[in-house]
Each structure stands twice: as structure tokens, then as C-alpha cells.
Amino acid sequence: MVHITWSCMVLGAILILSFTAQISAKAVVDENGVKTSVFLSPKFVMGPGSVVNRVYDNVDFPKGHIAIKSFDAEVVDEAGSPVPLQETYLHHWVVVRYQQKIDADIPESIGNLGLHQSKYSVLPNSGVCQNEVLEQYFGLGSETRKTSTHVPDPYGIEIGNPSDISPGYEERWMLNVHAIDTREVQDKLGCTECRCDLYNVTQDERGQPLNPNYRGGLRCCHDHLQCKLKEGSEGTTRALYMKFTVKWVEWSSSVVPVRIYIFDVTDTWRKENNPVHHCLVEYEVEPCNSGEDCTHIKRATSPIPKGGHVIYAVAHQHSGGNGSALYGEDGRLICASVPTYGTGTEPGNEAGYIVGMSTCYPEPGSVALSDGEMLTLESNYSRTQFHTGVMGLFYILIADHPERPLHTNHVQGQTTRPFEPLDLVPMIGLLGLVVIAAAGIAYHRRRFQTEDGYQSIVM
């Protein structure tokens, strides 16, 4: 009897432990030097029609001087199960690198870092938007489950290099999650496009009155707002988490660092009279009239500050997106990235939602950009219906032009250069999941005011 009772207790304890472990997972698995960690965000609770736009400071992140190889994310419930987009629409998640004074007394979280400028500073990506917009290292939206974020060998996104951090500071990571619960709402697309009329909102997150011409976008679906529900709906709230699966390798001289750039089709940069990368992040698509061409085409041209080899590229679009491309100064195609729409109901295949974006992995060295080269970003949307708050971003990873040629001759898949331990890495990469990176989103500090129209808000 005693033994039975004891085993039952042990079994119960194991069950409880494994459940807890599932929820606060932070396991590190090492496969031939490629480490995998799984992190969960703090919990957020959502009910039908509710909006979460939270900023979490100092989130868990792999430590040390390392190279990130992939960064995948999804929304899960308390049991760790993936939550489909038609229930919780993931507008975006972005992860921002910053440094903070060690031992600085800053209240936890809530995105008020702007008040503590002397104690922290963002360590942004390499460009190109100014005014603290789109500074993230990683970030995606509804396409997060089926968009490859993998950084091929020998490349990696370098983080945790002590020499990049000011003395007395430490590197930290900030997470912004924007999600909309569309269970039982009247208009799912309208809620996900942040249509102002559905949110009964007249001022933005900072209390600034909204221009009546502003019909939808992030300024109309800030944290704690509520989208219009169907009559008589009664919903249950539930706890959710962002789950991050990060792969990395220890930094070494054989890893080649890449720079991250995010281009925005709403960038107002003009060579002659406005050479500032003012990125509006969102825009509107007016519906077409019958007989008219029903593709909305938006383009923006601006220079990349420093060139190099394109290692990876991906676009970010919202529902209605019909493909996007980045072109070089001479019109050559750098990368075309097209959306995949889901066809069912299960997570990763939700009908009508963009569940993935195609990515480009040019053979290293085959797609080179020169310093200051003018790049043109093109973002197409279907005009069969009206859209607010759509985006056209392009996230690219660039490696410096190598100082010496790689001496790699691919002959029937064989390499003729001497064997190096690093040669194993691509194979390991192939075994791993596909993966990364991020289009992302608006990321903007409170002190930047806008008169009207689109502007990112996230912070």
C-alpha cells in the first residue's frame, strides 16, 4: 500500500514537473555544435476581440558570444499547443537588441524605456530606417510558422560580443508582441487590419487624437483595445505565450558575420530633396473598380549604405499581398519573395492568411551589392478589396565582400578545397529545420510624434 501510494505521488510529481517544464521550457540541445534553445515569453491573457501589444524588456535569450543560425516563433497556449491564426492573429513579434547599464534601477517591463535614456540604448540593425523605426534583429508576423529563418553556413548573426557593448553595460533583448484575438468578432479581416471603426477608438496609444482620414493601422489597435464582437457572443479568456526556438553556434573565426537591413516600401527617402529614411511602415490599398487592373503596386528606391554579398532575403506582407521583390540599381532581381496562403484551419495552414513567405538563399558571392547601390523595393497587393495597415518590408542579410576568394569549385557537389571542420556544418544545417528571419514591424519610440497618416507605434 505504502509503495503504491508513494509511486503514485512520484508519478504525479513527474507529471507536474513535465507540464511545468513544457511551459517554461528553456532547454538547450546540442547537435554537433549547433545549439537549440526554446524560450517562452511572459504570459499574456486574451479574450474574444482583445488586443495585446506588449513590450517585454530583458527577455530570456541565449548567452555568450555566439552566432544566431535561426530564430523561429509561434503562439502557443498553456498546454504548449500551437494556436491557429483565425483564433489569435499574430500581427507581429519583434526582438530588439539593446544595452543597459548594469545594476540600473529600472522598473520591469512595460515599454517605458524611453524615460531612462541614459541607462539603456538600442543596438539597432544596420539600417536603413531612421527615427528608431524597424530597428529589430528578428521579427515576423502571421507568416512566422512557415518562413525559413535559417542562416546558411558559414554565416551567422553575431551577438554577445563584449567589444560591441559600452563599458558598464550589458546586452539585453526586448520583445514586442502584437496579437489580436478574433474569436467571435464581426469582421475578422477588419480586426486584423486594425480598422479604426471596429475598435471605437479616437486617439492613439499616446493619447494623440486620430485624424478622421486615418482609417486603420497600428494606431487603432493598441494594447487593451477591443474589436467589435458578434451580437450575444460570450467568450472565454485564455493564457497565451510566444514560443521561440533559437539555434546558434559558439562564435569562432570560421563564422562569417552578416549585417541585417530592413527596407520599407513606404520609405520617403528622395535623393534630391529628402534624403532621410522616414519609414511609415504601413499603408492602405484602395479597392479597384471593375474593368481596372486590380494589382496595387508600390515601389520605393533608396541606397544601401554598405554593400556586400546577399546571403538571405525575405519580404513581409499582409493578407492581400501578391508578392514582393527587391531590384538592384541596374534592374537586376536581387530577390522575389511571395506569400503562401493557408487552405485549412490547422496552425500553419489557416485559410486566407499568409502562413509563409518564400525566401532567397543566393549562392554566396552570386548576388553582390555595391556600397551605396540604389535598391528598388516593389510590393504588390490585390485590390479586390480595401486594405488598411498593410506592409511591404524586405529583410536582408549581407556579408562583407570576402578579402580573398573562397577557392571553392563545386564539381558534382564536391568541393576541391581541403577539408575543414566547418565543412560539416552545412550538412548539419540541412538536417535542421528551415528557418528565419524577419520582416518585422514598426518599432517606434514614444517621443516621435506624427501629424497624421501612418506611423509605427509599437513602443
Ligand X SMILES: *[C@@H]1O[C@H](CO)[C@@H](O)[C@H](O)[C@H]1NC(C)=O
Q: Considering beta carbons, is residue 112 or 200 the nearer one to ligand X?
A: 200
Answer whether 378's CB lies under 8 Å from 327's CB. Answer: yes
Task: Please report whether residue 200 would count as binding ligand X according to CB under 6 A.
Answer: yes
Task: Please report whether residue 295 would count as binding ligand X according to CB under 6 A.
Answer: yes
User: In the bound complex, what is the minimum distance in angstroms from residue 369's beta carbon to ligand X?
Assistant: 18
User: In the bound complex, what is the minimum distance in angstroms from residue 202's beta carbon to ligand X?
Assistant: 7
> What are residue 30's DSSP bridge partners?
35
Task: Please report whether residue 297 would count as binding ligand X according to CB under 6 A.
Answer: yes
Q: Which stretch binds ligand X (CB under 6 A): 108-116, 182-190, 375-383, 394-402?
A: 375-383
Dist CA 138 CA 437 (whole Å)? 6
421: its cell numbers = 571542420
Dist CA 134 CA 291 (whole Å)? 37
User: In the bound complex, what is the minimum distance in angstroms from residue 324's beta carbon to ligand X?
Assistant: 5
Scanning residues 378 to 437, which ones bind ligand X (CB under 6 A)? 378, 380, 382
Q: Considering beta carbons, is residue 166 or 202 the nearer one to ligand X?
A: 202
Question: Which of 241, 236, 205, 238 is closest to 220 using CA atoms?
Answer: 205
User: In the bound complex, what is the minimum distance in angstroms from residue 321's beta carbon to ligand X?
Assistant: 7
Question: Which of 431, 388, 361 is closest to 210 using CA atoms?
Answer: 388
Q: Which stretch binds ligand X (CB under 6 A): 20-28, 72-80, 377-385, 439-447?
A: 377-385
Q: Which amino acid is at 18?
A: S
Task: Write out the DSSP string of 373-386.
Answer: -EEEEEEEEE-SS-
CA 403 to chain centre: 31
User: In the bound complex, what is the minimum distance in angstroms from residue 270's beta carbon to ligand X?
Assistant: 22
Q: Which stretch binds ligand X (CB under 6 A): 16-24, 70-78, 156-164, 317-325?
A: 317-325
Q: How many residues bind ligand X (CB under 6 A)?
A: 13
Q: Which stretch binds ligand X (CB under 6 A): 61-69, 110-118, 203-211, 318-326?
A: 318-326
The contact mask relative to ligand X for 104-143 (x = CB under 6 A, - = no) is ----------------------------------------
The contact mask relative to ligand X for 322-351 (x = CB under 6 A, - = no) is xxxx----------x-xx------------
Answer whether 255's CB lies under 8 Å from 67's CB. Answer: yes
User: In the bound complex, what is the minimum distance in angstroms from residue 349's beta carbon to ligand X?
Assistant: 16
Answer whether 441's CB lies under 8 Å from 141's CB. Answer: yes
Q: Which stretch of DSSP H or E encloses residue 5?
A: helix 2-23
Question: Which of 318, 132, 90 is closest to 216 using CA atoms?
Answer: 318
Q: Considering beta carbons, is residue 312 or 381 the nearer one to ligand X?
A: 381
User: In the bound complex, what is the minimum distance in angstroms from residue 229's beta carbon to ligand X?
Assistant: 10
Question: Which of 43, 12, 448 is closest to 239 using CA atoms?
Answer: 43
Dist CA 111 CA 132 (whole Å)? 14
Dist CA 62 CA 323 (whole Å)? 34
Q: Considering beta carbons, is residue 301 or 322 the nearer one to ligand X?
A: 322
Q: Residues interacting with ligand X, by CB under 6 A?
A: 200, 295, 297, 322-325, 336, 338-339, 378, 380, 382
